[in-house]
Amino acid sequence: MGMTMTQKILAAAAGLESVEAGQLIQAKLSLVLGNDITSPVAIKEMEKMKTEGVFDKDKIALVPDHFVPNKDIKSAEHCKCVREFAKKHEISNYFEVGEMGIEHALLPEKGLTVPGDVIIGADSHTCTYGALGAFSTGVGSTDMAAGMATGEAWFKVPAAIRFNLTGKPAKWVSGKDIILHIIGMIGVDGALYKSMEFTGDGIAELSMDDRFTIANMAIEAGGKNGIFPVDDKTKAYLAEHASREYKIFEADADAVYDEEYTIELDKLKPTVAYPHLPENTHTVDEAGDINVDQVVIGSCTNGRIEDMRIAAEILKGKHIKAGMRCIVIPATQAVYMECLEKGYLKTFIEAGCVVSTPTCGPCLGGYMGILAEGERCLSTTNRNFVGRMGHVKSEIYLASPAVAAATAINGYISAPEA
């Protein structure tokens, strides 16, 4: 019986010739990730283990990004804990304010994630790195602690679902629309503890930023991970960002999948997830008149340079609706700098937007855009649960940067003109 791409990576990391769905394995880790919310818990758990130190100071990444720059005393204490731990253990990949970014945009940009890696992170959107042909998944802080101490983790090998992407998306249809369509189709538990493996000729039509977005939101369908094959676009990205050697794994022709779906990309339309679940999807042309108070463009899902470019293209020469609040958050310092050099920041500010330093901020209801009772936000983030961005009686709609920019201009949910 053949193996899926994910199963091959896990077998190699476990030192086994083959694995099958449901099997328990102990695998070596390529990278362990934590942020300013989850790392302090992991650090305290690791202290209880009374270990000599970390397994490899070069294979741990600590990225304060959720409440950074510090929003209050508690967040400052969290960051202090992480900072002191990183200094004590000489962690190579610790990224402080001024050089940090949103973790899942920053790590690929820094070349810390490559094909064939096995990566755990104490953040549910760690599945982002599957865009590069790696196995990456979110874990709890206790598992992060064990990973930092031993360099290994236990996994139950996931079964898989194959998504065959065909055709070419229309203008303004992006990776966000694709993954929202898929989640709307299978539901928020449709891929529960399964690997979402993306194949098909349509992948060649997707940019790396599209793929990062799709892999990032695999968890919103319940997936253990999302993963893409390594192609010429992947290799070009790696040539620009990574210097580490990597190994490419491909699924066997007779690999077993629990389900298979074909997604015709040319038939998709700009899509929005209504409150209060990512599966509650509708195309924008079905939206009608839904007025919005705030728009957020950014996050680990849609804060990369292509997202900024699309938003700037739509906003250029226009102004957001009177009374609208539009917050733009480049995901890393490098993205911020490129926005500056290309004039995107000027476009955003002239359009009436506010531009923030890299931070998760509003995505988790942290700061930089908290909602009051009755307010609506259309956001390029990845979750729209009750109270996610503020008051429990506020509403969050999820969409692409193109829809977000058009909505900021019009004041109601809308797509840009074709």
Identify which of 270, 143, 137, 272 has the alpha carbon closest to the alpha carbon of residue 196.
Answer: 137
Encode pLDDT of 117-174 as tens digits. Answer: 999 999 999 999 999 999 999 999 999 999 999 999 999 999 999 999 999 999 999 9
Using pLDDT thresholds of 50, 70 and 90, give the confidence band for residue 288: confident
Q: What is the mean pLDDT of the segment spanning 72-87? A: 96
What does the alpha-carbon distance between residue 161 and residue 265 come to, in Å, rounded to a whole number?
Answer: 18
Q: Which of 253, 364, 323, 302 is nearest to 4 (CA)?
A: 253
In the CATH hierarchy, which top-level class contains the domain 271-410? alpha beta
Give the CA count within 13 Å in the CB-facing half-sphere of 98: 1
CB atoms within 10 A of CB 15: 10
Which pLDDT score, from 0 to 100, does residue 349 have?
Answer: 98
Closest by alpha carbon to 338, among 300, 305, 301?
A: 305
Domain ranges of the chain: 5-263, 271-410
- In this predicted model, what pLDDT tens digit does every residue of 296-325 receive, in sequence order? 999 999 999 999 999 999 999 999 999 999
Among 194, 216, 186, smallest CA distance to 277 is for: 186
- pLDDT for res 417: 82
Please give the structure tokens belonging to residue 244.
């580490």
d(CA 80, CA 96): 11
Amino acid 50: pLDDT: 81
pLDDT in the model for residue 69: 92
Exposed, middle or buried, 72 (CB in 10 Å: 0-12/13-18/19+)?
Answer: exposed
CA atoms within 13 A on the CB side of 283: 9
Task: Write the burial class of residue 203 (CB in 10 Å: 0-12 exposed, 13-18 middle, 19+ buried).
Answer: buried
Sign (positive/negative) of CA torsion 265, 268, 273, 279?
Answer: negative
Q: Among the residues of 328-410, which ranges form H helices?
A: 333-341, 344-350, 401-410
pLDDT attached to residue 289? 84
Phi, psi of 331 (to 5 degrees): -75, -25
| Contact status, residue 93 vs residue 289, Cβ threshold 8 Å | no
Tally Cβ neighbours within 10 Å of residue 353.
Answer: 24
**pLDDT classification of 286: cutoffs 50, 70, 90:** confident
Q: Are 156 and 24 in contact (CB under 8 A)?
A: yes
| Averaged pLDDT, 386-399 | 95
Tell me the average pLDDT of the chain: 96
Q: What is the CATH number of domain 5-263?
A: 3.30.499.10
Residue 84 has pLDDT above 90, yes or no: yes
Straight-line distance from the first to the last Cα atom of the chain, in angstroms, rounded to the nearest whole number? 47
Average pLDDT score over residue span 397-417 = 96
What is the torsion angle, in degrees rounded to the nearest 10, for the CA atoms of residue 301, residue 195, residue 112 and residue 77? 60
Same-fold call for 5-263 versus 271-410: yes
What is the rounded average pLDDT of the residues 186-197?
96
The answer to whether 160 touches 255, Cβ cutoff 8 Å, is yes
Give the pLDDT score at 203.
97
Contact criterion met (CB below 8 Å) for 261 and 161: yes
Asked if residues 363 and 381 have their Cβ atoms less than 8 Å apart, the reply is: yes
pLDDT-wise least confident of 1-15, 27-41, 44-58, 185-199: 44-58
pLDDT at 384 over 90: yes
With 0-12 / 13-18 / 19 or more C-beta atoms within 10 angstroms meaning exposed / middle / buried, residue 285 is: exposed
Tens digits of per-residue pLDDT, 44-67?
999 888 888 999 999 999 999 999
Mean pLDDT of 391-412: 97
pLDDT of 343 reads: 97
CB-CB neighbours of 386 under 10 Å: 13
Tell me the three state secondary structure of residue 382.
coil
**Residue 107 to residue 74: CA distance in whole angstroms:** 26
